[in-house]
Amino acid sequence: MIDLAQGRILVTGGAGFIGSALVWELNRRGFQNILIADFLGETEKWKNLAPLRFVDYLEADSLLDLVKESSYLLSDIRTIFHLGACSSTTETDAAYLIHNNYEYSKTLAHFALESGRRYVYASSAATYGARESGLSENLPLSRLRPLNMYAYSKHLFDCYAESINMLGRITGIKYFNVYGPNENHKGEMRSVVNKAFNQIGNTGRVSLFKSYRPDYPDGAQRRDFLYVMDAVAATVFLAEQVDGGGLFNVGSGEAHTWLELAHAIFIAMGKEQRIDFIDMPEQLRGRYQYFTRADIAKLRAAGFTQSFTPLRKGVSDYVQAYLQPDLHLGD
């Protein structure tokens, strides 16, 4: 077992969605020995940090400089959660994604392993590409075909780590469709729960994509939705209990329809259900996934026995405890 109280904990992307939720979870467990790195820029991510407890903050480019210099300022770091990345699935600047997602991950991974540090990083379920079944970590990486440059930048690091026999000594987490508090800054990359909450609040209605497959009625497309509290609980568990282990799916292991999700949001808001089905953009139709469900057998075999929050309960908590009162984790 890894003792997270030994030395400092570095959380990259710690002002972001899952990153700030991870810091909140660490705080909840009594840990404050945390160094956060992120790019705050002109966003309002700083609001995610305000209620959290940590010892220091660095801009991510400053952190990278310190790593390359082998600075003594980082000598007491024993555990690294590398969650920082550009997560936009519509980003088209491949050079930026290679530098920010792939090369940064490589540099931090070598820094961690050369000094015996624990390294847990965010891969992505998007690396599975268009697959709609058998979403298991046992799939050979060479068989995966990501659908966008973001997913490819994540896949590229997974492949690199495997090629130099590093993957078994680190832990990569393939998060599925995560929703929950602290995602307001993400713009178009926010979860459908967040977007629908605002849409329903403004218009009383929500829009879902039509189906273009006869085996799926409109709104019956399915996703593995995961409440962020469950995502970070599994992340901390893997950091503490698993020595390396390679890639792990972190999802609920269940698939729910968009209609079920929308219904849960309307109930949580106390609104009458009004749903419009709209045309899907042409550029999405050929690469749209109609079904995702995480195979979580490996996560369970590692000893993570916690139950995942049921969809309706998670949506209700998110809407009523965070979105409606406009609160962040820790407020």
State the average pLDDT over residues 296-315. Answer: 98
Is 169's pLDDT higher than 90?
Answer: yes
CB 176 within 8 A of CB 249: yes
- DSSP annotation string for 218-283: TT--EE-EEEHHHHHHHHHHHHHH-S--EEEEES-S--EEHHHHHHHHHHHHT----EEEEPPPHH
CB 39 within 8 A of CB 59: yes
Q: What is the pLDDT of residues 100-121, one digit of tens each?
A: 999 999 999 999 999 999 999 9
pTM of the model: 0.96
Share of the chain above pLDDT 70, in %: 100
State the average pLDDT over residues 122-150. Answer: 95
The pLDDT assigned to 90 comes to 82
- 209 exposed, middle or buried (CB, 10 Å; 0-12, 13-18, 19+)? middle
Strand-pair partners of 58: 37
CB 157 within 8 A of CB 100: no
b/e map 321-331, b = 16+ CB within 10 Å: ebbeeeebbbe
pLDDT confidence tier of residue 172, bands split at 50, 70 and 90: very high
The pLDDT assigned to 79 comes to 97
Q: How many CB atoms lie within 10 A of CB 297?
A: 13
> Which residues are annotated as catalytic?
150, 186
φ and ψ at residue 203, rounded to 5 degrees: -125, -15
Is 139's pLDDT higher than 90?
Answer: yes
